[in-house]
Amino acid sequence: MALFGKGEKARAKSQPIRNPNEAMPVVSRNAFCRICDDYRTFTKCWLRPRHMTQCPECGLAFGDVAELYKKFQPVCPKCGAFLEQPGFEYGLCDGCGSKFELVTGAKPGFLPNGQQRAEMEKLGKVWRIE
């Protein structure tokens, strides 16, 4: 039944997501940015629906995704990039562009990119969760 577009919606739901690393956009929000040290708008926000199968920084395709996600905070074995957890919301700060894990009722969790990790390592402020 194509009346009011109902046939198209049913067809869209039955089709799988083509890219397993694809995230679903969510509404922007205001949150505290540790880098800017102020409340900022996070215009670009998304929800991770499933495990990541490829590293967003170095492009490494993961062989055993389940093994990576057994850890408390999964990281890429090649470059050390922090991977996003399924079911969590993430956002980029409009002020500095840093990525944060946005949890309602809690402070945003900072996920440093490669350049930020190198700077933190140089200053001796990198933590490794093994």
In a domain, 27, yes or no: yes
In a domain, 3, yes or no: no
pLDDT at 8: 53
Residue 113: C-alpha distances to residues 9, 71, 120, 121 (Å): 37, 19, 10, 12
Model confidence over 15-49: pLDDT tens digits? 555 565 678 899 999 999 999 999 999 999 999 99
Cα–Cα distance for residue pair 75/125, rounded to 1 Å:
17
Q: Which domain holds residue 96?
A: 18-123
Model confidence over 80-109: pLDDT tens digits? 888 999 999 999 999 999 999 998 888 899
Model confidence over 55-77: pLDDT tens digits? 888 889 988 888 888 888 888 88
In a domain, 128, yes or no: no
Q: What are the two backbone dihedrals, phi and then psi, of residue 13, each rounded to the nearest 5 degrees?
A: -70, -35
In a domain, 5, yes or no: no
Count of structural domains, the chain: 1
In a domain, 108, yes or no: yes
In a domain, 12, yes or no: no
